[in-house]
Structure formats: C-alpha cells, structure tokens
Amino acid sequence: MNKFKGFTDSETFTQLPDGFFHSLLKDIKDADELKVTLYVLWRAAHTDGPFWALTKMDFEVGTLGLSAEGIQSGLEKAVKRGSLLKVRKEAMVYFLLNSPRGRAAAQAVASGKWDPSKSQSAPPLERPNVFRLYEENIGPLTPLIADTLKDAEGLYPAEWIAEAVELAVKNNKRNWKYCEAILKRWKEEGTHGQKTRQDSGKSSERYTKSKFEEYLERD
C-alpha cells in the first residue's frame, strides 16, 4: 500500500452531485464501477461546452489503477446501473454522465445533430490556484495570508494574480504586498499588463517608486 501524504491547503475541489451520496455510494459495491463513475463525475465538473462524451480510451490504463478489463467491467456496470449512458455513433462507443446535460448530448447524437468525434474531450488542465501559486513562488501559507488570497480571488481575475506573482519573482520582491500593489494599480488605472511584461527592469522601477512603496519594501 502506498502511504498517502494527506491533502494540502492548496487543493482544488470537484463538486459532486448530492445524488451520488444519497443513492449511488451506498449501492456501488464494485471498486471498478466506483472508480470509473468518480472519474466521469470529475470530468463533467471540469469540462466546458454544451456537450461532451468520453470513449474507453479516455480511461487510461493505470490512471485509475485499473487494467483494461477493469475499465471495461466498471463501465458496463455503471451503464447497467444507469449512472452512465452509452451511445454509439457509427463504429465508436461513447459514455456520458446520466445528467440533464448528458441526456441532451445522447439525444443530439441519436438525432444526428452532434458528432462527438468532431469534438475534443481532453483531460482538464489542473491550473494552480492562488494558494499553490503563493506557496510555490512567495512563501509558506498562513491563515491570515490565506484569507487575504481568498479576497484577492474575488477582486481580480486569476490571470492578473498569476502575472503579478510572476512580476514579483522577476523583480525579486517576493511578498504579497508587492503583488497587491500591482493588482491595485492595474485595476485603478486600467493598465493591466502594459509595459510590465516588456521590460522587467522598468517595471521594477515603476512599482517601487509608486505610492505603494512603503508596502513593497516589507518582507
């Protein structure tokens, strides 16, 4: 058995429908079925667009700790139970979550309005959230910093925060006050990204001589 090191404060989370806990969890006895069902729920929560579908190839051998036979068995049991839908389009077989979105997709395939083979269903990328971004580039996360970062996520786009942290690293100003000063300036002046990515030396001078200088010198 591989020892699990535990979850961290920088985890991202996947929403699961209450129906999974109220009905499915107590009924599913087979590990193969449980794993493929959870995987489809994860993909559903992280996939954009009106329609999506998975093929058996999307359940990579080893990713779920299952053999090819285990994946096939888990899929068949989930379809039989009704948690997953199985549709055919010519020679291809697709699997969808039995949800309003999944049922609509199945109907679209059956009516010829949608061809899943022409749509990509790549695994969702795990983008670092603001906690992980902070820990990897600035320093240890404290409860006070965690609350501050949560507030920042509600005030600024994720890409702004990532760029501000990047700029802090380039200018050797690894503290949140520096990042926050940049974010405030971008928001107040509508100058997000202007010149900052073109010349890090000029960027450093611009921000260290700003009205936020008193904060930028703090560790």
Whether 115 shows a pLDDT value over 60: the answer reads: yes
Query: What pLDDT was estimated at residue 203?
Result: 46
Whether 211 shows a pLDDT value over 60: the answer reads: no
Give the per-residue SS3 of the chain. Answer: CCCCCCCCCCCCCCCCCHHHHHHHHHHCCCHHHHHHHHHHHHHHHCCCCCCCCECHHHCCCCCCCCCHHHHHHHHHHHHHHCCEEEEEECCEEEEEECCHHHHHHHHHHHCCCCCHHHCCCCCCCCCCCHHHHHHHHCCCCCHHHHHHHHHHHHHCCHHHHHHHHHHHHHCCCCCHHHHHHHHHHHHHHCCCCCCCCCCHHHHHHHHHCCCCHHHHCCC
The more confident residue out of 116 and 209 is 116
Distance of alpha carbon 36 from alpha carbon 64, whole angstroms: 8
Global pTM reads: 0.59
Cα 118 from chain centroid (whole Å) = 23
Give the residue-averaged pLDDT of 21-45: 94
The more confident residue out of 35 and 213 is 35
Q: In which band, very low, low, confident or very high, does the pLDDT at 44 lie, cut at 50, 70 and 90?
A: confident
pLDDT tens digits along 128-187: 578 888 888 998 878 788 888 888 988 888 889 989 999 999 999 999 999 999 999 998
Domains of the chain (ranges, CATH numbers): 18-118 (1.10.10.10), 130-216 (no CATH)
pLDDT tens digits along 144-155: 888 888 889 888
Tell me the pLDDT of the chain averaged across its residues: 83
pLDDT tens digits along 47-78: 777 788 999 888 887 778 999 999 999 999 99
The more confident residue out of 17 and 205 is 17
Do 114 and 49 touch, CB atoms closer than 8 A? no
Distance of alpha carbon 216 from alpha carbon 218, whole angstroms: 5
